[in-house]
Structure formats: C-alpha cells, structure tokens
A and B are shown apart, each in its own frame.
Chain A
Amino acid sequence: EIVLTQSPATMSLSPGERATLSCRASQSVSTFLAWYQHKPGQAPRLLIFGASKRATGIPARFSGSGSGTVFTLTISSLEPDDFAIYYCQQRSNWPITFGQGTRLDIK
C-alpha cells in the first residue's frame, strides 16, 4: 500500500498569505495524485487531479505541482473561505490511499 505523508499537520496563516502544503508518497505515483478540501460537516471538494490540473470551478489561486513522490498544493493568497483541512489522495495503485491531512487555520 502506498503511504501518503502530508506536512505540516497544522499550519496557521492569515488571509492574503501564501500557503504551501506538502504530500510525499512512499513510492512513485507518477502524477496520479489529487487534492481535496474538506470542511467539517460538508462533503470534500476536489481541487486538483493529475497532480496539477484544477478541477472545474476551482479558483486560479489553487495550484498543484510535483510528480513521482513529492507534491505540493499552493494557495497563492488565502481567502477566509480557504481555511479547512486538505487531503492528498493517490490513484496510481490499489488500494486508493489518502494522506492524513493538513489543517489550515486562521492565524
């Protein structure tokens, strides 16, 4: 099973700042990696698939990069609605696995 390790576990930033979230895979997943945003009591929201492709309706301030084992989700300028938990997920090998999440808090 491919293990995804996200860092940091928690980050505290202010609106307008740049957020850089990391996801590291225990073995190469090529670019078969997605990022999701999850708020309590809501359904997760797909942000990025194929490591760098924004899903439909996702603002341009969200960007993804990386390949192989190291991936980054960048939020260029945080808006109040962006404070949530972010998960990476690999779709390279069975079983599908998720990272443990990065909680993005308002500073």
Chain B
Amino acid sequence: QITLKESGPTLVKPTQTLTLTCTFSGFSLRSREVGVGWIRQPPGKALEWLALIYWDGEEQYSPSLKSRLTMSKDTSKNQVVLTMTNMDPVDTATYFCAHELYDIMTGFNSFDIWGPGTMVTVSS
C-alpha cells in the first residue's frame, strides 16, 4: 500500500525559505518509472503543479516558480524534500506530494496516490 505524508512548518515569514518533506512508503524511488510530485492549492483556488522528481534524478519544475524551487531525494529514507525560497503571502496554500504512476500497459502518467497535504501560511 502506497502512502505519502507531507511535513514542514505551518507558518513562515515573508522572504524566508520553506522546506517541506514528503515521506513515503510502499514504493521506492530506486524503481524505474517512479516519480514524486508536488502540487499546491491556495485557499479557494485550483490545484497548481510545482515540481516532479524521478527515480533517475530527472527533475521538472513549473516555469513560473523554477527560480525559487529545488527538490532532492533521499532513497534510503524514502523522502523527497522541496525547498521554496523568498516566500510571499501569495504562496499561502496547502502543499501536497503525490506518487506519479506510469502505467506500462498504456504509457500514461498520473498522480495516483496523494498525501493528505500540509497547510502553509506566509505571514509576518
């Protein structure tokens, strides 16, 4: 059974750096075609994809946030870490991490299992 859980601060000040950790179980980031993504949802707004890291170390970032985002993975701890610099009140959101499924039979990718999310508020 695949599970993921996000952890990190609930409150950060403007200009600070946010560090979120996604701890997962039921799969390994050493396995081919496996990815972990980050998605956020500001209050009352839609889902927004932020970043994705693959088993082979490939990283993809949202172009609008690329300059502020960095991901890393620790396969021995089954964790993925996302850092976002220069936080602003508009970054207030629930942040989700999710397992990306690559369906070998069909060739399609999708976020099949999500963590419960962690709410981050940016305020002085």
Instruction: Judge whether A44 and B111 touch: CB under 8 Å.
Output: yes
Q: Is A91 a contact of B110 with CB atoms below 8 Å? A: yes
Q: Is the Cβ of B108 less than 8 Å from the Cβ of A95?
A: no
The yes or no answer to B48 lying at the interface (CB within 8 A) is yes
B-facing residues in A66-107 (Cβ within 8 Å): 87, 89, 91, 94-101
Q: Which A residues lie within 8 Å of B103 (CB)? A: 49-50, 53
Contact A91 B46 (CB under 8 A): no
Nearest chain B residue, comparing its CB with the CB of A98: B47
Q: Which of B17-25, B78-86, B113-121 contacts A (4 or more CB under 8 A)?
A: B113-121
Write the B94-109 contact mask toward A (1 if CB under 8 angstroms, else 0).
0010100101001011
Closest to B108 in A: A50
Q: Which residue of B lies closest to A35 (CB)?
A: B110
B residues in contact (CB < 8 Å) with A: 37, 39, 46-49, 52, 60-63, 96, 98, 101, 103, 106, 108-117
Say whether chain B's binding surface is mostly helix, strand, loop, or mixed.
strand
A-side residues, CB < 8 A to B, are 1, 31-32, 34, 36, 38, 42-46, 49-50, 53, 55-56, 87, 89, 91, 94-101
**What is the bound-complex CA distance between A99 and B49, given in angstroms?**
11
Chain A residue numbers with a CB within 8 Å of B37 are 96
Contact of A42 among B48, B61, B116 (CB under 8 A): B116
Candidates B46, B62, B110, B114; contact of A43 at CB < 8 Å: B114
Q: Are B46 and A87 in contact (CB under 8 A)?
A: yes
B46 A99 Cβ-Cβ under 8 A: yes
Nearest to B65 among chain A residues (CB) is A95
